[in-house]
Amino acid sequence: MKAIATIKLKLPNNNVFLETMKQYSYSANKVIDFGWNIKTYSKRELHDLTYHKIREETQLPAQLVCSSRDRAFEVLKACKFQKSKPIMKEYLTIRYDSRSFSFRSNKNNYYISLTTINGRIKFPVEIPECYWKYLDYKVCSADLILDKKERLFLNIVMSRSIKILNSNNIVGVDLGINNIAVTSQKQFFNSSQIKLKKLKFKHLKAKLQAKGTKSAKKLLKKISGREKRFMTWVNHNISKSIINKVEEGTIVLEELKGIRKSKVRKKQRFWLHSWSFYQLQRFIEYKAVRGGIKIIKVNPRNTSKICNSCGNLGSRCKSFFTCSHCGYSLNADLNASFNLAKHTSISDCVSAEVIPPFLTCDTKA
């Protein structure tokens, strides 16, 4: 199984990099113009029509011309049935491969070499400590990005084959709203404090939306980003804690695709539609893959209503489960995690950007 990590490095703003990105964008827009006007979506035909013309009009080396053509081809294919022609932004993200980019070390010093309009530029970089454990991965590709604050970043994609360790240890993980996650190892992650935080965000956003001024809209965007970062931080904490306790074996998750289409009461709609179930699952999955832990996804139907002791349907009242057949009773989410631990099936390898998490959790016996 392959594990993938993305190392994000900040680069100094360099006029050569910016001009390269600008010409890269011009090249991609040129290819889009040709493809849109003659209604062709063949990569080979687009290459024959545009390659030599772009080489004459820009200073881009051959590899970046081909890379920009590939970006343009993907956009054309995606917008095939749109009425308006797509336009690339002024400073387009450059996609580098092993022929136009290198990442090497020399006596604990790390260097990056990037192809630009002025040829190859080699420069030293500092690797943050949180990325050190990924430095033995194989370097695959890189993206040169200019963000909204006009900062340059290089995202380096790295991969490594991971051997899944055979173990009889199977852990079920039930995701929910009152408890963000409950494992069959009796590990509880309560959401009461997170709910209070999200309600504060909701109240503040409602006030800003009602105001409707330009400054209110600007602040609304800022607050939305803050809420998103907060939930990402929480999900990293929980996923790391779960993986650290499992160590080896198999983790069983619920297949939550289509969960927001289910009918719920009006009071529950806000929580169902604003909760980041998918992100938490992705974080658990990619951390598990890197730790050699197998991930399984199963149908969640009746997992909290079936008695894990006798296998019959019981009844759930809020957060408590009771079986009328054998008299067994316990927390409904914990019962669901026990049921999940009895399933077997295999999921695919996943990846996500590496962010150093902070660990915190509540554990109940």
pLDDT at 363 over 50: no
DSSP 285-313: HHHHHHTT-EEEEE--TTTTTB-TTT--B
The type of residue at 277 is F
Average of pLDDT values for 36-58?
Answer: 91
Q: What is the pLDDT of residue 348?
A: 38
Express each pLDDT in 336-350 by its tens digit: 889 888 875 333 334
Q: 84: burial class by Cβ within 10 Å (0-12, 13-18, 19+)?
A: exposed
CB 133 within 8 A of CB 127: no
Question: CA–CA separation, 253 vs 12, rounded Å?
Answer: 42
DSSP 183: E
Q: What is the pLDDT of residue 351?
A: 41
Express each pLDDT in 248-301 by its tens digit: 888 999 887 766 666 666 666 666 777 788 888 899 988 988 888 888 888 888
Identify the H or E element spanning 32: helix 15-38
Q: Which residue has the higher pLDDT, 12 or 114?
A: 114
pLDDT at 63 over 80: yes
Could you tell me which residues are beta bridge partners of residue 57? none
Average of pLDDT values for 356-365?
Answer: 40
Q: What is the CA radius of gyration of the chain?
A: 25
- How many helices (H) and strands (E) would you count in the chain? 8, 16
CA pseudo-torsion sign 151, 156, 162, 164 = positive
Q: What is the pLDDT of residue 261?
A: 62
Cβ neighbors of 223 (< 8 A, separation 6 or more) are 201, 204, 205, 208
Q: What is the pLDDT of residue 88?
A: 93
